Structure 1
């Protein structure tokens, strides 16, 4: 250990004697390490933000329609049972169907898309809230009242403003005219409304109208209200989508007396958080790889400067070998010097990368966040030292293989 300590002292002395050259040699390592640390930290921050903001707010259970008959579809009573049994885990249970028609006002005729749904749809955590009036209730549904809720964009398209609660709409569905009374208006982003209008005008079309109404209203155009092939449960904060779906399926199996038939299951949905997380991991890894190329460039710089050092210290090598220094001692001396050169560059690079990451996180530059990764720091530290050793092997072996006579001849 004492001899190894001497090698470290000699290496530090040689680096100190050539400060400018040593710093320029380390620059490639510094840039590479700081770039990799910064990129991985920002990538981790973005992934964490995606995972946190994309927490599931709802889960859907569905019926296997190929195996089930109409009596085994999800009924209103089924949804009430799920809501009662899972009241501490869900905010609402909704079933919905759709229909299409048209609506005419003094501003023209519009295509109308109807969502035939249940009262808890007013609690949808994903859609914009109702900002005028109120959502229809269970009495409206039980009485098949022709009432509806429209969005802000539809209100403006039909009447030119949002103050439309209490107004009536004549909607034609299957050649039958049904007069709906507007009970409420959902909010909608003004920029989105403008963008949608602009897009429709480009194709010479008018904005379609979106209407939410009790599913029982289908009686008005001669269609008996049907049961549902799926039901959506709105989750309370912190609830597991998989766990709630499993419990909901158990409630449905019990009510429909299904024994191992697996008629009800969680609807397969695209897991956006996992998908985006995987994409961000891939992008981060690729950019980090590109940034890591500078580490190889820095390693070549280390090898180049060490070769120069071997040439400059030919006399020293010759004297040491003539006095009995072992080949392994010469190798260790030069490897120690190249490893320290890369190691110091790596430490500086880590500090700079961490500083940039903390700066990005603190200032929220471009809305970005950053999270330092211990594994990334350890990996880059090991890699920087590895670069020094790897690219120091050739110069060290060249120095160790020198004949003392030939080396002393060059004095």
Structure 2
């Protein structure tokens, strides 16, 4: 142990004696390690953000069109039974029928995307919460009430304020106009509002309005609502898995619709895009990390070059040590310690600077990028920097150890 500490002290002394040269030697290691840490940290942060934002909170079950010519076979009674069987494991069950229309106000006419849906849609985790008024009820569904819930952006755009509960809109669908009463307002993301307004000004266009209405009210425009659906969406309670809930919904539906066999219903795959995006981020992170890692190779060559220069400069020292009985292994170990310590110090500086750059990038709100320091990347970077010092220090160390004492002393 005492001998090892002696090697360490000698290595630190020689590194400190040539500060400028030692720092330039470390520079390649510092740049390589900091680049890898920065890239991996930002990549991990982006991946974590993708997984967080795209985490399944709903599951949709549809009728398999390959097994049934009539896809409108899921009944309201089916939905009631599903809610009863799953209980607190789901927040609600909903179905939606999108329809395109036109809304008329004192400001003119506006394209409108209308979602004819069910009351449980108010619990949709991907939708903004209700900030004014109320949502339509089962009674409104039963009576096919002409009521709607609009978003905050639409209310401000149409009326200039949010005091619009009870007001009416004329809505045109399929060449027929009906008066619809506003009963609720959903919140809108301020950033989305700003982006929509800028896009509307840029392209000189009017952004479409978003409405939600009882699905039965579509009959007022002559729509064929019927009593059955082709798909339903369940809103998961915290901690529940979409795949598990989806299987239980399908199992329940299969017991109610035995004529279609076991594959009459299927769960829609909602994580394919997430997997693709995650794989893309992983691929890009690996590629850019590999490119950044090339600088580590350059840094290793720099370490070897400087150590060869050090061997030449210290020929006299080596000759004296060998003439006094220093073994070959002792000379090799001394130079290996020196090259390894140079690489380790460079690696530590690289890790700190890489983490700092990643945090700085994520703190800039204009980038929208978050960083997540990877402990695995830090460990790999540390081991790699040590390895660079040892591997690229072997040749200079062996060259120093092979010097003949007599030849070395002649060069004094």
Which position in structure 1 is the counterpart of 2:246?
245
Number of equivalent positions: 409
Q: 1:122-161 maps to which residues of 2 (within 5 A)?
A: 122-161=122-161
Report the more deviating stretch, 219-228 or 247-256. Answer: 219-228
How far does residue 293 in structure 1 lie from its aligned partner after superposition?
Answer: 4.0
List gaps (5 residues or longer) in structure 2. Answer: none
2:344: which partner in 1? 343
Instruction: Report the CA distance shift for 1:4/1:93 in structure 2 as closer, same or farther (over 3 A).
Output: same
Q: Secondary structure at the match of 2:78?
A: helix
Q: 1:405 to 1:258 in 2, by over 3 A?
A: farther
How do 1:194-273 residues align onto structure 2 when only pairs under 5 Å count? Answer: 195-200=195-200, 202-226=202-226, 227-257=228-258, 260-271=261-272, 273=274
Report the Cα offset of residue 265 of structure 1: 1.7
1:302 matches 2:303: yes
Cα separation, 1, equivalents of 2:294 and 2:98: 55
1:387 Cα deviation (Å)? Answer: 0.9
Distance in 2 of aligned mates of 1:254 and 1:76 = 15
Q: Aligned in 2, Cα 1:2/1:136: closer, same or farther, shift over 3 Å?
A: closer
User: Is 2:314 the partner of 1:313?
Assistant: yes
Please, which moves more after superposition, 369-378 or 109-118?
369-378
Matches for 1:8-407 after TM superposition, within 5 Å: 8=8, 10-70=10-70, 73-189=73-189, 192-193=192-193, 195-200=195-200, 202-226=202-226, 227-257=228-258, 260-271=261-272, 273-319=274-320, 329-350=330-351, 356=356, 366=365, 370-407=371-408
Q: Is the 8 A contact 1:157 1:207 kept in 2?
A: no
Quick check: 2:25–2:299 contact (8 Å CA) kept in 1?
A: yes
Tell me the distance in 2 between the aligned counterparts of 1:230 and 1:325: 83
Identify if the C-alpha distance between structure 1 residues 199 and 47 changes in structure 2 by more than 3 Å, giving closer, same or farther: closer
TM-score by length of 1: 0.84
* Residue 340 to residue 128, structure 1, CA distance change in 2 (3 Å): closer
| Matched-pair contact (CA < 8 Å) for 1:357–1:372 | no
Give me the whole-angstrom Cα distance separating, in 1, the residues matched to 2:198 and 2:9.
Answer: 73
* Alpha-carbon shift at residue 370 of structure 1 (Å): 4.8
3-state SS of the aligned residue for 1:86?
Answer: helix
Distance 1:322 1:198, change over 3 A: closer
- Superposed CA deviations along residues 253-280 of structure 1, whole A, max 9, x for unmatched, are 1111267531212112245554444444
Indicate the larger mover: 30-39 or 383-392. Answer: 30-39
Aligned counterparts of 2:324 and 2:403: Cα–Cα separation in 1: 14
Q: 2:204, 2:313 → 1: CA distance?
A: 80
Distance 2:140 2:169 in 1: 17
Provide Cα deviations, 1:348-399, integer angstroms capped at 9, x if missing partner: 5445656x389769x9564766544332222112111111122212322333
Q: Deviations over 1:140-167 (max 9, x none)?
A: 1112222222223333444444333222
CA gap of 1:384–1:3, structure 2 versus 1, over 3 A, is same
Q: CA deviation at 1:87?
A: 1.9
TM-score by length of 2: 0.84
SS of alignment partner, residue 234 of structure 1: strand
Mean Cα deviation higher: 146-155 or 376-385? 146-155
Structure 1, unaligned stretches of length 5 or more?
none
Q: SS state of the match for residue 87, structure 2?
A: coil
Counterpart secondary structure, 2:88: coil
Q: Report how far residue 282 of structure 1 moved.
A: 3.8
Residues 71 and 230 of structure 2 are in contact (CA less than 8 Å); yes or no, is this contact kept in structure 1?
no
Instruction: Tell me how far apart the structure 1 counterparts of residues 149 and 401 of structure 2 sit (CA, whole Å).
Output: 86
User: How many angstroms does 1:70 deviate by?
Assistant: 2.6
Q: Structure 1: how far apart are the matches of 2:193 and 2:12?
A: 67
Residues 115/332 of structure 1: CA separation in 2 closer, same or farther (3 Å cut) = same
Could you tell me how far 1:91 is from its partner in structure 2? 0.9
Residues 267-304 of structure 1 show CA distances to partners (whole Å, capped at 9, x for unaligned) of 12245554444444344444444443443343233222
- Would you say the 8 A contact 2:61–2:265 is kept in 1? yes
**Does the 8 Å CA contact 1:167/1:182 hold for their aligned counterparts?**
yes
CA offset at residue 65 of structure 1? 1.6
Cα pair distance change 1:190/1:306, threshold 3 Å: closer
Q: Is the 8 A contact 1:170 1:180 kept in 2?
A: yes
